[in-house]
Amino acid sequence: MGVQAVFLDRDGTINVEKHYLHRIEEFEFLPDALHALRLLKEAGFRLILVTNQSGIARGYYTEEDLARLHAWMRQALREQGIELDGVYYCPHHPEAAVPAYRKDCMCRKPGLGLFERAILEHEIDLSRSFCVGDKLRDCALCASTSCRGFLIGENETDEILRRVKDGKIERVQWAKNLLECAEKIRGLTACREREENA
């Protein structure tokens, strides 16, 4: 049996969404995000960050800038007792200003390339795992696998929010924020464990 994991989007999910964020001094964790991540860790989940970073393709910042930010972020989380088990990002965009990153790739969400890489590298059991993000593309893996997802917040279109809240998108639920999502995931996991041990 593989491990259970939560695939997490970054901007708007863990930290405050800012315009092509890449400076450490502008990074700001969302309220209760640290508590939420700690709850997921305590429940035995691997935490896997999966993020589109088209700002690289647009020439706003470099992969080196992003590496510095992610190293700082991981250390800030470590100091709170939270370890990110994997960080995966896509630097591409089909209309990139930087030619080297102009690519219609499979790693840019809703493409599944980064998810597939993480699944292999961490031996993840999708039937026991979740995708979480503030955009439906963050839950793209749920459309074709047994992974379940949570759309959080109000950053999607009204139509998509309505469909998710009404249960019209299979295997994707809604939560108001990451903390509510973490609590729901813990509840679903506990319920599953009771059923398996019955």
Give the active site residues. 9, 11
Q: Two tokens at 62?
A: 């470099």
- The C-alpha angle 60, 119, 135, rounded to 5 degrees, equals 45
- Which residue's entry shows tokens 């696998």? 145
Specify the DSSP element, H or E, that contains 182.
Answer: helix 178-197
Radius of gyration of the chain from its Cα atoms, rounded to whole angstroms: 16
Exposure string of 90-101, with b = 16+ CB inside 10 Å and e = fewer, is bbbbeebeeeeb
Residue 19, Ramachandran bin (φ over 0: left; ψ between -120 and 50: alpha; else beta): beta
Sequence-ordered list of residues with C-beta below 8 angstroms from that of 132, at least 6 positions apart, any chain: 6, 7, 8, 9, 13, 138, 139, 149, 150, 152, 178, 181
